[in-house]
């Protein structure tokens, strides 16, 4: 990652009680000269969404689905995700609504008052929902992918187990990541890829070798506090956290809402988005529902690039 591509802002959060540094990545035309797109990154990714190190470089770039020739594109790092040196003192008091407020304040400091789109994958989609509720006129298109406006009981349960692993394992990042990979993929995906084969050198199953590899890769590039932070936040998504009414919160949102699910997602279940879609239609919101077809589960939005490109191109070409 080129550090020259990252900038930093100081923004207030929690009604000004603390000041949090905010780093971001910006590409495309100069702010104010083109429509602006905000991309909210997934769990263990960061603000670098395009280029050589970009986690979404097949989707975002020159002449791609989200075209950097046409759009000014910005992404903020979730503070405390390990990219910067910031560490939350009381992370248990912070939720994704605070992160959404932080991102909105960051946009204001950059002189950005409206967006063509807010788009996010996984936890980034949850933050996108929270931003739309906090600032209903902020964007023209709200695009949560493999995500939801809430953390379900299933998701809360899994972040709870992840936290126990992180706080009790002798090799916390590796072990927590291995468990998490069982949620990001599916049994069918594993069966197709490994077919119960064994690693000839180590005499262990290839699925075991694969899990150990992914655990080690994250351990090599991610920090313990970063993992604790994003895992905690994953379980806090909830636009209704103050006992508010769904209909009352959604009605003021002016954006077209484009829900994109993965049919085999084990983390953010597609059926939850289908229920939300029906609720949006009853509220007469401009909305659409698209589904990525894949055996690969949650990670399909990072794997099935052709399908993602087709879905997003239809939205952005409008």
Q: Domain boundary residue among 234, 252, 267?
A: 234
> What is d(CA 43, CA 41) in angstroms, rounded to the nearest whole number?
7
Average pLDDT value for residue range 118-141: 98
Could you tell me if 123 and 45 lie in one domain? yes
- pLDDT band of residue 6 (cuts 50, 70, 90) is low
What pLDDT does 4 receive?
A: 42
Could you tell me if 120 and 198 lie in one domain? no
Could you tell me if 78 and 35 lie in one domain? yes
- pLDDT per residue as tens digits for the range 258-284: 999 999 999 999 999 999 999 999 999
The per-residue pLDDT of the chain, averaged, comes to 93
Residue 194, burial from CB neighbour count under 10 angstroms (0-12, 13-18, 19+): middle
Is pLDDT above 80 for 13? no
Q: Kindly state the tokens that stand for 92.
A: 């248990």
Could you tell me if 187 and 279 lie in one domain? no
Q: Domain boundary residue among 201, 219, 234?
A: 234
Strand pairing class (72-76; 256-262) = unpaired
| CATH code, domain carrying 75 | 3.40.50.1820
Could you tell me if 183 and 110 lie in one domain? no
Could you tell me if 125 and 264 lie in one domain? yes
- pLDDT band of residue 318 (cuts 50, 70, 90) is low
- pLDDT band of residue 90 (cuts 50, 70, 90) is confident
* Percentage of residues in the chain having pLDDT higher than 70: 97
Q: How many domains does the chain have?
A: 2
Average pLDDT value for residue range 221-247: 94
Could you tell me if 91 and 190 lie in one domain? no
Could you tell me if 189 and 287 lie in one domain? no
Could you tell me if 253 and 138 lie in one domain? yes
Could you tell me if 95 and 133 lie in one domain? yes
| CATH code, domain carrying 166 | 1.10.1740.110
Could you tell me if 125 and 187 lie in one domain? no
Is pLDDT above 50 for 171? yes
Q: In which domain, by residue range, is 144 found? A: 3-152+236-316
- pLDDT band of residue 3 (cuts 50, 70, 90) is very low
What pLDDT does 200 receive?
A: 82
- pLDDT per residue as tens digits for the range 23-41: 999 999 999 999 999 999 9
Could you tell me if 13 and 122 lie in one domain? yes
Is pLDDT above 90 for 244? no
Q: Domain boundary residue among 210, 234, 258?
A: 234
Is pLDDT above 90 for 7? no
Model confidence, pTM: 0.95
What pLDDT does 49 receive?
A: 94
Residue 16, burial from CB neighbour count under 10 angstroms (0-12, 13-18, 19+): exposed
């Amino acid at each position: 990652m080129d550090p020259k591509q990252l900038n930093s802002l100081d923004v207030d959060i929690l009604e000004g009680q603390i000041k949090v540094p905010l780093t971001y990545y910006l590409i495309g035309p100069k702010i104010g000269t083109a429509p602006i797109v905000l991309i909210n990154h997934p769990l263990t990714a960061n603000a670098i969404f395009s280029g050589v190190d970009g986690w979404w470089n097949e989707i975002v770039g020159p002449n791609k689905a989200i075209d950097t020739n046409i759009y000014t594109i910005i992404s903020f790092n979730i503070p405390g995700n390990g990219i910067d040196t910031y560490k939350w003192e009381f992370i248990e008091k912070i939720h994704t609504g605070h992160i959404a407020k932080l991102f909105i304040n960051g946009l204001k400091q950059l002189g950005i008052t409206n967006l063509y789109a807010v788009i996010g994958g996984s936890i980034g989609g949850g933050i996108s929902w929270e931003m739309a509720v906090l600032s209903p006129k902020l964007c023209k298109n709200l695009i949560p992918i493999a995500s939801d406006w809430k953390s379900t009981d299933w998701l809360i349960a899994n972040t709870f187990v992840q936290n126990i692993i992180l706080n009790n394992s002798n090799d916390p990042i590796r072990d927590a990541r291995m468990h998490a990979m069982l949620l990001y993929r599916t049994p069918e995906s594993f069966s197709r890829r490994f077919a119960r084969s064994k690693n000839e050198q180590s005499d262990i199953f290839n699925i075991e070798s694969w899990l150990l590899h992914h655990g080690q890769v994250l351990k090599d590039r991610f920090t313990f506090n970063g993992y604790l932070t994003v895992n905690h936040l994953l379980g806090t998504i909830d636009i209704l956290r103050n006992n508010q009414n769904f209909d009352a919160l959604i009605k003021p949102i002016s954006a077209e809402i484009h829900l994109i699910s993965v049919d085999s997602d084990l983390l953010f279940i597609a059926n939850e988005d289908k229920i939300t879609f029906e609720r949006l239609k009853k509220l007469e919101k401009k909305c659409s529902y698209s589904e990525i077809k894949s055996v690969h589960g949650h990670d399909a939005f990072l794997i099935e690039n052709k399908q993602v490109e087709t879905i997003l191109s239809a939205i952005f070409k409008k």
